[in-house]
Chains A and B, each alone.
Chain A
Amino acid sequence: KAGVTQTPRYLIKTRGQQVTLSCSPISGHRSVSWYQQTPGQGLQFLFEYFSETQRNKGNFPGRFSGRQFSNSRSEMNVSTLELGDSALYLCASSPGTGGYEQYFGPGTRLTVT
């Protein structure tokens, strides 16, 4: 089975712009979670989607949003970018029901200048 894929792998944006990141989960997996990873804060949960519905949300401002499509692919959007949004954004997929294992993609490195 192919693993979790994320596009693009690298992004450079300017403060105030918005950005959309994409994630394709492992085939058959219905749950997609997003995390932000920074050296100072570590891995922090953003939100989780299952069957096109947001099931869980972390403590991030409303500038961070996401959605999931019927094929389980997910997108994450950050509006009005701030310098502090520079991070590695990781997507993880899991079966959603039954299996507990969560598998991460390679991440999208976002740099905000």
Chain B
Amino acid sequence: QQQVKQSPQSLIVQKGGISIINCAYENTAFDYFPWYQQFPGKGPALLIAIRPDVSEKKEGRFTISFNKSAKQFSLHIMDSQPGDSATYFCAANPMTTDSWGKFQFGAGTQVVVTP
């Protein structure tokens, strides 16, 4: 069963708009939550990551919001550009020795930014 549930499956946003992707999890042992961006034919690229001790992290146009009590986290892409058109994955891991490297990934969200 999918331990990290991601929505929506796809979204279309106009250039300059805000893209919002949501993820929910059940395992309260998860301790590290990265987001990845993947272009066709390429491997996923680490975008931004957060740990549960902060509620928000911003890097450039990308922001992660984290709600520990709701067990949810989201990625906001501000001022979306056509170059942001890609598939985005959320992930989670307890970051213990017996789980190292064993990330649980969401199903992915295909984002299309129209000119």
Contact = CB atoms under 8 A, between A and B. Distances in A.
B101 A101 contact: no
A22 interface: no
B62 interface: no
Contacts of B104: 45
A50 to B, nearest CB: 7
Interface in B78-115: 89, 93, 95, 97-108
A57 to B, nearest CB: 9
The A contact surface, by secondary structure, is strand
B60 interface: no
B105 A58 contact: no
A45 B106 CA distance: 12
Interface residues of A, number: 24
A101 B93 CA distance: 11
A79 to B, nearest CB: 23
Contact of B102 (A4, A42, A48, A103): A48
B100 to A, nearest CB: 6
A107 B41 CA distance: 8
Given A42-B108, A43-B89, A43-B105, A104 B43 contact: yes
Interface of A: 4, 31-33, 42-43, 45, 48, 50, 55-56, 58, 90, 92, 94, 96, 100-107
9 contacts: A4-B43, A33-B101, A42-B105, A48-B100, A48-B101, A56-B100, A90-B44, A101-B34, A104-B46
